[in-house]
Amino acid sequence: MYNRILLKISGEALKGETPFGIDPQTVKAIANQIKQAHDLGVEIGIVVGGGNIWRGKTAEGLGMERAQADYMGMLATIMNGLAVQDALEQTGVQTRVMSALSVDEVCEPYIRRRAIRHLEKGRVCIFVGGLGSPYFSTDTACILRATEIEAEVVLMAKNNTEGVYDSDPRTNPNAKLYETLTFSEILAKELQVMDSTAASLCKDNGLSLIVFNMNKDGNILKAAKGEKIGTLVTVK
């Protein structure tokens, strides 16, 4: 079992079966899964995406400047983080939302040493606002936060996807699921797991990654316990 993990939840996962926004039942189900791992004593950091509220394609359609669009994406992650916080606290789990953008009225500023102290006290830390700067993806923010808080592994929770495939399983019924991969293979084969910056950061910092389907109840707990699930991505 891992002692400290960083869980990456895509914004898309929070919308459930709805076309847009936040589905309350889906968020509650995710919170209950996180609680299962928390109850075992696992220290948990979470990075939430914003794709259920704001998409880059929308910005492209509007002809919007990239930096402006990225800031809107950061604001979307803050909204999602507050939703996850509320759902977790309804289960009795203490949380802190920490933002790279300054929004002091709704959450704490991200300070590395304070975040580690929260984790040591058994609080779940939800990291939002990306890195506070445009041109960086949520994947990159996730890996940087994991490195900063000294997480042992990154759990990349996917929406109805079992792990990493050699091709898109939605269009190719014969797509092969990888059980193990290296970050070098991800970069060489251009597999759509995370962007190249995030993959390189994992490789450089010796950080392992588990890609799994979070829509099956208990999968977050299984991944946190180190059980065989999804795709394990390692440095070597």
Whole-structure pTM value: 0.93
pLDDT of residue 179 exceeding 90: yes
What's the confidence (pLDDT) of residue 167? 85
Q: What is the pLDDT of residues 199-232, one digit of tens each?
A: 889 989 999 999 999 888 999 999 999 999 999 9
**Using CA atoms, how far apart are residues 40 and 49, in angstroms rounded to an integer?**
26
Look at residues 33, 10, 13 and name the one whose alpha carbon lies nearest to residue 222. Answer: 33
Residue 146: pLDDT band (50, 70, 90) is very high
Confidence class for position 28, pLDDT limits 50, 70, 90 = very high
In order of their start, the domains of the chain are 4-234 (3.40.1160.10)
- pLDDT value of position 221: 95
What is the structure's pLDDT at 62?
86
Given a cut of 90, is residue 56 above it in pLDDT?
Answer: no
Closest CA to 124 of 197, 62, 46, 63: 46
